[in-house]
Structure 1
Amino acid sequence: MTHSTKTHRVRLTQVSPSYWRVTFDHPPLNIFGPETIPELEAIVEAIESDRDLKVVVFDSAIDGFFITHYDFLAEPKSFPAGKTGLQPLPDMLARISRAPVASIASIRGRATGVGSELALACDMRFASREKAILSQWELGAGLVPGGGPMARLPRLIGRGRALEVLLSANDIGGDLAELYGYVNRSMPDSELDGFVEALATRIASFDKQAIGEIKHLVNLASLPSDAEMIPEWDAFAASVQRPAAQIRLKKLLDQGFHKPGDVETRLGHYVGALGRS
């Protein structure tokens, strides 16, 4: 029986004891801000500790947006380091990757910055061909990404393609993301939910201990160490304070960044134009 609990921005639905959905529901853009951190932390803690859980799907309730970037307008908040010793966002992403539970990102809409980083932390990623957009947009605003993409992307798609994603700061649609290996598969939007549901239900029928052991062994061959994540977050925090980034962020905000509209819908276009304006 499906059981749902909703915090302010994140909804946890227990489809069954072995299969959960985590739905980001922060209209209008699913911006990831400081208030989201304790909500997601509580869910990650539950994922790690639940004795019956075998598979979790991350998705969105907001049309056009999986998860976008960090909230640059939010009042800064200080959080203690997480269980791994990393800052809260990279800590939670590392723990999702290592949890003895299969994790799936179902991407319909923009997975921009934090959204891309969460998707990369998941074990599998499936995308709507018509609606999914992935990007690490940060360089276009003079920023360094902080949630682990420099450590994760080269392992996933190779060095050259990782640098193309990171240094172009451009939008990548579902089909190109599949070609590059950024997502497992891109499929017609009408088929995405059914496919993910069938896969999650299938995995949930298998033995939990075996799932955890398989994940652990794959992780040994493929996951970056926590030590690789530390300089990324430090570089992000430092880059936000630099004058070049402040100028570019202000230009974006003046054009409509953080608001529903063309800038958020076509962020790759707008950050590409900043240096030429």
Structure 2
Amino acid sequence: MMYSKVKKSVLLAVVAFLQGPPNVFGQETTLPSVASAPLAATLSKTTEKIRLTRKSEAYWEVTFNNPPLNIIGPSEVRELAKIVGQIEADGRVKVVVFDSAVPGYFIAHYDLLGPLKDSTGMEPGPTGMHPVPDVMVRISRLKAATIVSIRGRASGIGSELALAADMRFASREKAVVSQFEVGAGFVPGGGPMARLPRLVGRGRAIEMLIGAEGFDGELAERYGYVNRALPDSQLDSFVDALATRIASFDGQAIADAKTLINQASLPPDSEMQPGWDAFITSVQRPAAQARLKVLVNEGLQRPGKVERNLNEYTAKYR
């Protein structure tokens, strides 16, 4: 690998990671060494981590491409916010599809190994909120219709981004949606407490958020989390056909219909920031730190069995 092509900030992060795991969200810890982990597991490609494709002036595609797990941290949040700003500024966009180029993962979860200050020190977004709830609110209020195509795991912030979109379609065989955070000792930060009860009902929302299990595509469809669970071989063609159909319609009619639907169904924006604040507070508590230590020791945020079975590993802690 040619290190001259890797950003200085990424190199510094890799060096720190190989010397010993970084503190979990700024907390002083004595986490076990992971110096033996493959270098590829700790580096992102130097290409764009979130790729914007204009399939036509009316139909845009946003693809998460941050292998190996599609982890989302402060830099990715900024990148996503920039893309959302482009969508907001272009009145010709009628439909946006969010998907993933990383096998097995739509988005694994938020970066739980970065310094706390990198997340808390971010400048507020246009709504005045922290950039995480800000970008979720802005996605939900786009004039264009938004579709999330879920193939692989959509956990934590991946699930929260899916919930912020207008429609969700999942691979029946490969999708897993999950809000694992309570199982790891902290509160989700991207607004699912505000969105899920309105989408699936209070009881099922509590099951998903506090039970903290993974739901396959078929069960997610039954609960109303996704619009449809489709055979994996049909997912891409179905989503593309729907997006192409919407892109052929009148943009003002789409925007007007969405405005009225939003008024009837979206949570108030004021419900979003408290979730982020609760996440930041709860992830620093000793109980959360203890659970995160165990998960890091087992392989959190590295390719392998923990990330593939995160809901099971959070339940193992005693």
TM-score, normalised by the number of residues in structure 1: 0.96
Unaligned runs of 5+ in 2: 1-45
Structure 1 residue 8: deviation in Å?
2.6
Which residue in the other structure is 1:51 paired with? 91
Which residue in the other structure is 1:41 paired with? 81
2: CA distance, partners of 1:15 / 1:155: 32
Letter aligned with residue 99 of structure 2: D
- Aligned: 1:123 with 2:123: no
2: CA distance, partners of 1:7 / 1:18: 25
3-state SS of the aligned residue for 1:57?
strand
- Do the aligned residues in 2 keep the contact of 1:7 with 1:39 (CA within 8 Å)? no
3-state SS of the aligned residue for 2:55?
strand
3-state SS of the aligned residue for 1:13?
strand
Pick the aligned partner of 1:65 from 93, 101, 105: 105
State the identity as a percent: 61
Unaligned runs of 5+ in 1: 1-5
Structure 1 residue 7: deviation in Å?
5.8
3-state SS of the aligned residue for 1:16?
coil
Which residue in the other structure is 2:12 paired with? none
3-state SS of the aligned residue for 1:104?
strand
2: CA distance, partners of 1:134 / 1:99: 23
Return closer, same or farther for 1:28/1:89 CA change in 2, 3 Å cut-off. same
3-state SS of the aligned residue for 1:103?
strand
Moved over 3 A (4+): none
- Do the aligned residues in 1 keep the contact of 2:132 with 2:276 (CA within 8 Å)? no
1: CA distance, partners of 2:176 / 2:55: 27
- 1:32-66 Cα offsets, whole Å, 9 max, x none, are 01110221111000111112100000000000000
Letter aligned with residue 27 of structure 1: P
Pick the aligned partner of 1:113 from 148, 156, 172: 156
2: CA distance, partners of 1:153 / 1:227: 16
- Do the aligned residues in 2 keep the contact of 1:134 with 1:177 (CA within 8 Å)? yes
Pick the aligned partner of 2:48 from 3, 8, 19: 8
- Do the aligned residues in 2 keep the contact of 1:130 with 1:188 (CA within 8 Å)? yes
Letter aligned with residue 119 of structure 1: A
2: CA distance, partners of 1:74 / 1:167: 25
Structure 1 residue 231: deviation in Å?
1.3
TM-score, normalised by the number of residues in structure 2: 0.84
2: CA distance, partners of 1:139 / 1:51: 39
Larger radius of gyration: 2
Which residue in the other structure is 2:195 paired with? 152
Which residue in the other structure is 1:3 paired with? none
- 1:150-179 Cα offsets, whole Å, 9 max, x none, are 000000000000000001111100000000
